[in-house]
Structure 1
Amino acid sequence: MIRNDVFQTLKPVISEHLVVCNIGAPSQELHAMDDQPSNFYMLGTMGLASSIGLGLAAAQAKPVIAIDGDGSVLTNLGTLATIGNNPQSNYTLLIIDNGSYGSTGDQPTYAGMNTDLAAVARACGAECVLTVSAEDTAQAVTDAIASDQMTIIVAKCESGNVKVPVIKTNPIVIRERFMEEVRK
């Protein structure tokens, strides 16, 4: 399974929740398959989906799912220390680990080599950290949302993108409709 296949299995699980999605191909794939006002698509800030998701979870009580990539987490590795030391019970961080920088041509990441992001998250203080296969991701996210415990899930999948259009929705519109969902 590639990331887009994982997203297909996640669609019924996350469609009713606040979702912050990683920059580039992940946001484009999620937008193309299931655009929702409750989805905040990162359009220009690599490495910050997990940080924004944590801040959103701290600011309100609804469940928040941040979908980040291994490459993005590696570009902002310090966020795992912040997350590990500031747990929010309504926060789930899903790291789609395909071992590559999928948005820029599938160059290999260190997570695809020797860096274990789950071990890094645990070393940063996160208590509930799981590594799952692509096929088990949707169930792991379902369980995490129901657990009322901050959970970091590293979902291992194959590298690869599907061809989808770029997001043409104005970023201000994306922000405003997402903020309206947060206020509901």
Structure 2
Amino acid sequence: MSEGLDRRAVVAALLAGRHDLLVVTGLGSASYDVAACGDRVENFYLWGAMGGAAMVGLGLALAQPERRVLVVTGDGEMLMGLGALATIAVAGARNLAIVVLDNRRYGETGAQPSHTAHGVNLAAIAKGCGWENTSTIADEPGLDQLARAIHRDGPLFAVIRIAPGEKPRVLPPRDGAFLAQRFRAGLGLAEP
């Protein structure tokens, strides 16, 4: 039995039909994987904001209710921001999906086992916080179903079991001011 799906292939499958999907990434590999699928003005990469991706996604979903927002983050970052799951469930943003790439490691600090390696179930935590649509994906059919579901109405929280290991880094822009300005311009809120 494999340890999980290939992270880069997972993100590529999720973003294959993204059209005008707004994407917020967590630190490290989530950003590299989204950038590997093509850098776009609709991508908002977080640098130095550990634990903040889900809440940034909520703020964006509330500010842009006509657009679908996808947060792609890792298990380490989601573990750091567990309180966000309750806040997001209460807010009820129907246009928000959060996908956690769970390799059961703290990848950015040396691949130490994360709490999910010791049985912490992020999907169950989200369910306990009030999320109605939660899932844990560990195979290709589940991934295919999720790739379609992230574009539908309703809040969604999914954990995808991915294999540990590094992929070649595809570094998106790292200048926070530039990224914020570019993203705002892409939304028609500021000059490029």
Q: TM-score, normalised by structure 1?
A: 0.91
Gaps of 5+ in 2: none
Establish whether residue 85 from structure 1 lines up as the match of residue 94 from structure 2: no
Find the aligned partners of 2:94 and 2:37 in 1 and give their Cα distance: 28
Establish whether residue 157 from structure 1 lines up as the match of residue 162 from structure 2: yes
| Equivalent residue number for residue 145 of structure 2 | 139
What letter corresponds to residue 116 of structure 2 in structure 1? A
CA offsets, 1:96-143, max 9 Å, x none? 111111222221111122100011001111111111125233531321
Find the aligned partners of 1:143 and 1:167 in 2 and give their Cα distance: 26
- Find 1:74's aligned residue among 68, 75, 79: 79
| Equivalent residue number for residue 45 of structure 1 | 49
What letter corresponds to residue 57 of structure 2 in structure 1? G
Q: Residue 169 and residue 42 in structure 1: after superposition, are their counterparts in 2 closer, same or farther (change >3 A)?
A: closer
Find the aligned partners of 1:181 and 1:134 in 2 and give their Cα distance: 34
Find the aligned partners of 1:106 and 1:2 in 2 and give their Cα distance: 16
SS in 2 for 1:183: coil
Percent same amino acid at aligned positions?
A: 32
Find the aligned partners of 2:37 and 2:176 in 1 and give their Cα distance: 18
Please say if residues 11 and 34 of structure 1, whose CA atoms lie closer than 8 Å, have aligned partners that are also in contact.
no
CA offsets, 1:28-82, max 9 Å, x none? 2322331111000111101111110011101112000011111101111111111
Establish whether residue 120 from structure 1 lines up as the match of residue 125 from structure 2: yes
> 4+ residue runs of structure 1 moved beyond 4 angstroms?
none
Gaps of 5+ in 1: none
- Find 1:175's aligned residue among 154, 177, 180: 180
| Equivalent residue number for residue 64 of structure 1 | 69
Establish whether residue 102 from structure 1 lines up as the match of residue 107 from structure 2: yes
- Superposed CA RMSD in Å reads 1.8
1:165 Cα shift? Answer: 4.6
Greater CA deviation, 161-170 or 127-136? 161-170
- Find 2:34's aligned residue among 10, 17, 30: 30
The answer to which structure has the higher helix fraction is 1
Please say if residues 173 and 179 of structure 2, whose CA atoms lie closer than 8 Å, have aligned partners that are also in contact.
no
Find the aligned partners of 1:138 and 1:29 in 2 and give their Cα distance: 18
Q: TM-score, normalised by structure 2?
A: 0.87
How many equivalent pairs are there? 183
SS in 1 for 2:187: helix
